[in-house]
Every structure is written in structure tokens, then in C-alpha cells.
Structure 1
Amino acid sequence: MPGQLPLAEQLDAFRSLLSRNETLTEVMTRTATLDLPGWYVTAGCLFQTVWNVVTGRSAAQGIRDYDVFYFDDTDLSWEAEDAVIKKGQEAFGDLSAEVEIRNEARVHLWYERKFGVPCPPYDSTESAIDSFAATTCCLGVRLEPDGQWRVYAPHGLSDVFNLVVRPNPVLAPREVYEAKAARWTREWPELRVLPWPDGTPA
């Protein structure tokens, strides 16, 4: 199992499995042309591709969208982010999948209205990825100018390969974690979902 390999070999296996999702690699290639500061393709499209491959499914099965995060704190207006979103729509318009682009420097402006808890301003794309509801989600990949993959995985890759969903109670409330986990297990019943830690406020 890849989750039992040494870290360097896990990284090789991770890249190999993600490369089987042609939509994902195309999103990465096209995003690299947009010149977005600190960008990553992140979240569900990564770990769900791994889940699909290790459970014998088609690499892109059940993946609803492809998230692209970037970080630009030089202009926090909606108009600036919307201009980037429109550039993305032109770049990804012929793909069969939905690609969502978000400036993580702006998240604190709307997060509490959507999720009911305040979000301190992020200082990087990585700090945004760190706050996902499950540690299994905390992943980012991008193509560097030299064509190499940069992989951000602050909690490692073993849980991803081993189909373990682990809570990350640093920002998102309990109900967000549990709703996501319930949705994922309907699509991937092989998952092992770990409970929200006792004593942590919902």
C-alpha cells in the first residue's frame, strides 16, 4: 500500500496517481499560464483522485469541481478577484469540469457569513489550505516554472492513501466536517471517517 511507503516514495506514488486524472493535469497546466501568485490546485480533486485510483474506480469519478487557490493581498476588492475568475473561465471554458478560482487573501471578508464562525486573515495560500475541515483535505499541487511539481501536504499523505478522513478542528465547525464526510462516504463507502474530537465545540 502506498500509505506504508517512505515519504519520498509516497510523493512519487502521489504524482503518479494524480497524473491518471487527465482533467486534473490539464487544469494544472492551464493554471500555470495564468501567472497567479502562490497558486495551488487543491482539495477534493486531489484526494478524491487518489481514492478513485486505489479503489479501482475511474480517476475522475465523482469529482464535482477543481479548486484553484491563489493569494494576492495587494487588492482585496471583489472586482479584482472577479477579473481573475473571468480569466479562468476563458482558460478552462472548454473543459468538461467546473474550475473554481478563489483569492485566499479575501476569505476573511465572507467566511463568517457563510459558515458562522470568524476567519482570521490568511497570510498565504498554504495557511488557507491548513484550515480545511479535514486534515485529509490539506493538500495542494502546482507546476513550477521549471515544470516540476510542488506538493504541499502539511499532514502527510498516508491518510489519503489509506482512505482515512481525519478532522482538523482549527477553523471549520463540526457540522461542516460531518456534512463533508457524509457526502464523501456516499460516493466512497470504503472510507474510514474518524469522529470529531470530544470536548471540541461544534
Structure 2
Amino acid sequence: MGHTGMPQASELTPASLIAQALSNPVNAELLQRLDSLRLPQCHLTAGCLFQAVWNRQTGRAPDWGVKDYDVFYFDATDLSWEAEDRVIRAVQALTADLRVAVEVKNQARVHLWYRNRFQADYPQLTRTTDGIDRYLIACTCVGIDTRSRALYAPNGLDELQRGILRMNPRFAQPAMFRDKARSYQERWPWLSIV
């Protein structure tokens, strides 16, 4: 254990994060299958990736605590709910046998529904990674491009490895941040909220 009670681990790199995420067989399957749909700017993102890192550091299975698997894509050619719903249904059909919740979101549409759901403004985005950039907690801004398999991590990986939960300055929502950070700390008590 480190000085904060955090488990020690070798340095987290883009390659090691991808390897840890893919040690969850559902992530590996999703990357394989989603590529076949050719969704524009498609990324597997959020907890299914970064929680594998925290789970490895605490000796848990890579999928422990994963509530759902987030898939972001960006298609501004049709901003209707019907178009997004067709993609959601296609992904559900493609992944039904995995028996996990897969949450699909067209990042080109988020600004249309966000205020009604979360009582906060949300700008119109211009690409998938804009959505990843706006996670509440800075270290959780990670995604893997389903086509190139490249890691997107605009805030680096140091705080993710060290378990530092800091409010993302790109989307400062103090109350929502506190709730999200506390929910992570309940599952991984060694995480520190700053």
C-alpha cells in the first residue's frame, strides 16, 4: 500500500490501460463487434475502462462493479431520436448474448436532451471526444476508438492510477461531481476526492 492506503502498481501507460480494459472479456467483444457497425467516431468509454484499472489494483475481477458499458459515437447528419434509437437497437441486437447493459449515445444530440434530464446546460458538441472531455471527474475522461483502438485520455493517466478524483474543470458541476465521486469511493475506498 502507498502512503495514502492506495495499492502500488507499475506506471499506467496507454498500452497498459488498454490491456487492463481488454482483460474484461466484454470490453474485448464490444470493440470487435462495434467496429462492424462502422459508427462514426465510435468509442468505448467510461467506467468499463477505468474501473478495470482500479479493480486490478485491488485484486478484483476486471468487470467488478461495472454497471454498464458506454458507447459514444458522433453523427450530426440526423439529430432525431429515431435515428439514434435505430443505432441503439442495432447495438442491442449485436450484443444481446453478452448479457450486459450497453448504453449508446450519439454525442451530436446530447445538447437536445441534457437540460431536461440533469437541469444543467450542455453545449452542442462537434465530435465524440468532446463528450468524453466533459465527464464530471477529470481522471475518468478515457475512451478507446473502436476502429483504430487508440486510447483517448486528454487528462493523462497519472490521477487515474493514483485514484485521485478531481472535478473536471471542463464541466464543473460541484453537486453532481460530489455524488459521482462518493459513489466511486464507496466501491473503491482507497480513492481520494480532492
TM-score greater than 0.5 by the shorter chain? yes
State whether structure 2 residue 81 is matched by structure 1 residue 78: yes
- Counterpart Cα distance in 1 of 2:16 and 2:171: 30
Q: 1:169 corresponds to which residue?
A: 169
Q: 2:47 corresponds to which residue?
A: 44
**How far apart are 1:172 and its partner, in Å?**
5.1
Q: 2:99 corresponds to which residue?
A: 96
Corresponding letter in the other structure for 1:36: L
CA contact 1:115–1:172 (8 Å) conserved in 2: no
CA contact 1:18–1:46 (8 Å) conserved in 2: yes
State whether structure 2 residue 23 is matched by structure 1 residue 20: yes
Corresponding letter in the other structure for 1:84: V
Q: 2:129 corresponds to which residue?
A: 126
**How far apart are 1:159 and its partner, in Å?**
1.3
- Counterpart Cα distance in 2 of 1:18 and 1:66: 12
Cα shift readout 1:112-163 (whole Å, capped 9, x = no counterpart): 111212111000001111111111121010232xxx5211000001111111
SS in 2 for 1:110: helix
CA contact 1:2–1:13 (8 Å) conserved in 2: no
Aligned length: 186
State whether structure 2 residue 193 is matched by structure 1 residue 190: no
TM-score if structure 2 supplies the norm length?
0.91
Q: 1:142-153, aligned counterparts within 5 Å?
A: 142-144=145-147, 148-153=148-153
TM-score if structure 1 supplies the norm length?
0.88
Cα shift readout 1:38-80 (whole Å, capped 9, x = no counterpart): 0100111111111101111111001000000000000000000
- Counterpart Cα distance in 1 of 2:71 and 2:108: 13
- Provide the alpha-carbon RMSD of the alignment: 1.3
